[in-house]
Each structure stands twice: as structure tokens, then as C-alpha cells.
């Protein structure tokens, strides 16, 4: 088990600035509804990404911002032109798994197959390496999870899954960027999402970030930037819509979807304008690759280069 007890090293990303990340999934990719997650059990449902992604890309362009988009393999196969459009607009495409299963519900072998399939699918589509991974619903949870080592072995350079939150990731995970190194020599950078409240383990993304006042959000962001030089924010395209819930969600699934969503469209655009958001590739790409390879090749999005195809 010693290979599962890696060394952690805090990363110095001072001066990097805020990072915007987008989890590219439909409203129904909600882990609380297993029949929506499993494509073989999924009923016909309204899908919005085909028109929602271009709208989001337009907003980013207007504001002069860049983001990292964590894309599901199944979404990339359904709307490939939209995913290519992200890279064409200068954004970075990273991987959110092939399907939106909680990783703990997959055997180690099934997990490996899922991330390898998704990575290969995205790389075939983009013709460039995909460097980052984020697990569905922060389900990697902890640094000692053997699946995290599989992420590094699959060729990813960074992960953005180990959220430091109550009920998402694990309360007690570091909230700063760090490098994870296993005894076999494999290394992965961890870029966790930033908290609205460190003390109570509340995320700045998701419904807690949506219901937070701009003042509260700014205070948390400023603190994170002052202490660690960067802060990773998370949004989902479906959060940016003022519309009725397009299908059937109840209980926890409905709460996650609907709390604070009305009006968040405007809040998001305000926060987008207020800060110079960048992609993970722009902030960390060159540096993490330089640490291992002296001559980084041209990569997707802004990962250590000026953009993709
Ligand atoms: Zn997700």
C-alpha cells in the first residue's frame, strides 16, 4: 500500500490570478439520479449544451476571459463541433470522465477504462493532448484513493477533484494547489476549487456560490488569491439559465440544481467581468510540463502554447 501514500508539496503559483473552470455536462448529469447517469437507462431528456456552449463562449470572448472546460466523453461524442469550438476560441479542454459515474461506484479497472476512453476520445477529436482531469461530483475525495494514481498513470498532468468541502471531496483536503508524488516517480498537480468558507467547508461554486452575495464571493476570492496566488472557480452551463427545471428532479438533486439559480446568469456575467479569469493551462501548463520535459510540445487550448486548431 506504500505506493498509495504519496508525498505532497505545496505549489508556488503567486501572481497567477483566478482560474475559471466549466464542467461540461447537461442538467441531468446529476449523481443523485442514477437512471439519468447511466446512458442505457436514461429516458429521452431535453439537452441544452449544443446552444448553451456557444453562448458561454461568446460571453467569455466579450469579457476577454479564458477557461478550462472539463468535458464528459459522452458529451464530446454528441456535440463534437462544440468541443472543437472551445479550443478554437482559445480555451482549454480537459476531461470529466467518459460518463458521470461516482468513481467509487466503479472498480479500479472500470475507472481506468472510463478515463482512458474519455481521454482518447477527446484527444482524437482535438488532435492534441488533454492534460487535466476532474472526477464527477468530486468523487475521488482523498489523496490516498488508488484511483488518483490511475489518473497520473493515464498521462494526466493535473487533477482538480480533491475539493476541501463538506459533502464534496473531503473536509480537510488542502485548499491550496499542490504537487502529489508517488514512490514510483509519477507526479500529478492538484488544483482544488476554492472555498467560500474554509471554516464551514462551503464551495464558492455550486449552489452556495450562487446564493452568496457578491461581497461575500469577493472576500473569499481575494483571500484565496492573496494567500495562494490563484483560485479555481467552477460553473456548469446549466447554472447560467433562467428557466424552469426542464425535467424531473426531486430532493437533493433538485436542491443542487435550483437553489440560487434564478438570476445567477447576471451574477455570473458580473463576476466574469470583474476578474481576469484564465484557464488552468495558462496558469500552470508551461510550468508543470517544464518540470518534467524541457521542450513542451504544442498542446490543446492555451496549455503552454497560443491555442489549438
Ligand atoms: Zn460533473
Per-residue model confidence as pLDDT tens digits over 205-234: 999 999 999 999 999 999 999 999 999 999
What pLDDT score was predicted for residue 288?
55
Q: Report the separation in Å between the CA atom of 136 and the middle of ligand 1, taken as the mean of its atom positions.
A: 4
Give pLDDT, residue 160: 98
CA of 207 from ligand 1 middle (Å) equals: 14
Whole-Å CA distances, 138 to 164, 170, 171: 10, 9, 12
* pLDDT score recorded for residue 304: 39
Q: Give the per-residue pLDDT at 286.
A: 60
Q: For position 287, what pLDDT does the model report?
A: 55
Compute the distance from residue 216 Cα to the ligand 1 centre, in Å: 25
CA within 13 Å, CB half, 37: 16
The residues, ordered by sequence, that sit 6+ positions from 40 with a Cβ below 8 Å of its Cβ are none
Q: How far apart are the first and last CA of the chain?
A: 42
- Pick out the chain residues at pLDDT < 70: 1-4, 286-309
Nearest to 133 by CA among 97, 162, 169: 97
Please give the distance, rounded to the nearest whole angstrom, from the Cα atom of residue 183 to the centre of ligand 1: 30
pLDDT for 143? 95
pLDDT of residue 300: 55
Task: Look at residue 169 in the predicted model and tell me its pLDDT.
Answer: 85
Q: How far is CA 102 from CA 64, 98, 110, 200, in A?
A: 34, 11, 12, 24
The pTM of the full predicted model, rounded to 2 decimals, is 0.92
The cell numbers describing 63, all together, are: 469579457
99 C-alpha to center of ligand 1: Å? 9
Q: What's residue 106's pLDDT?
A: 96
pLDDT of 285: 73
Distance 137 CA to ligand 1 centre (A): 5
Q: Where are the domains of the chain?
A: 2-290
**In the CATH scheme, what is the code of domain 2-290?**
3.20.20.370
Q: Burial code of 217-246, b = ≥16 C-beta within 10 A, e = fewer?
A: beebbeebbeebbbbbbbbbbbbbbeeeeb
pLDDT score for 167: 82
Amino acid at each position: 500500500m506504500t505506493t498509495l501514500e504519496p508525498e505532497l508539496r505545496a505549489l508556488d503559483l503567486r501572481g497567477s490570478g483566478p482560474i475559471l473552470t466549466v464542467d461540461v455536462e447537461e442538467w441531468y448529469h446529476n449523481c443523485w439520479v442514477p437512471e439519468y447517469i447511466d446512458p442505457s437507462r436514461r429516458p429521452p431528456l431535453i439537452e441544452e449544451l449544443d446552444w448553451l456552449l456557444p453562448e458561454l463562449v461568446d460571453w467569455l470572448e466579450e469579457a476577454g476571459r479564458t477557461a478550462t472546460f472539463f468535458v464528459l466523453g459522452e458529451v464530446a461524442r454528441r456535440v463534437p463541433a462544440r468541443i472543437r469550438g472551445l479550443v478554437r476560441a482559445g480555451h482549454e479542454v480537459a476531461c470529466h470522465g467518459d460518463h458521470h459515474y461516482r468513481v467509487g461506484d466503479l472498480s479500479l479497472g472500470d475507472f481506468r477504462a472510463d478515463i482512458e476512453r474519455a481521454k482518447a476520445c477527446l484527444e482524437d477529436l482535438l488532435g492534441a493532448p488533454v492534460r487535466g482531469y476532474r472526477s464527477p461530483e468530486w468523487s475521488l475525495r482523498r489523496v490516498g484513493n488508488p484511483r488518483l494514481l490511475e489518473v497520473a498513470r493515464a498521462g494526466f498532468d493535473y487533477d482538480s477533484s480533491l475539493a476541501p468541502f463538506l459533502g464534496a471531496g473531503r473536509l480537510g483536503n488542502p485548499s491550496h494547489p499542490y504537487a502529489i508524488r508517488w514512490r514510483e516517480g509519477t507526479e500529478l498537480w492538484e488544483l482544488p476549487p476554492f472555498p467560500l468558507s474554509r471554516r464551514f467547508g462551503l464551495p464558492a461554486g455550486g449552489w452556495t456560490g450562487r446564493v452568496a452575495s457578491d461581497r461575500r464571493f469577493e472576500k473569499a476570492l481575494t483571500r484565496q488569491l492573496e494567500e495562494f496566488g490563484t483560485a479555481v472557480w467552477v460553473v456548469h452551463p446549466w447554472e447560467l439559465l433562467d428557466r424552469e427545471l426542464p425535467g424531473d428532479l426531486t430532493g437533493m438533486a433538485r436542491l443542487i440544481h435550483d437553489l440560487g439559480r434564478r438570476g445567477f446568469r447576471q451574477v455570473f456575467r458580473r463576476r466574469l467581468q470583474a476578474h481576469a479569469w484564465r484557464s488552468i493551462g495558462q496558469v500552470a501548463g508551461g510550468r508543470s510540463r517544464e518540470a518534467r520535459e524541457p521542450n513542451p510540445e504544442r498542446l490543446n487550448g492555451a496549455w503552454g502554447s497560443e491555442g489549438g486548431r
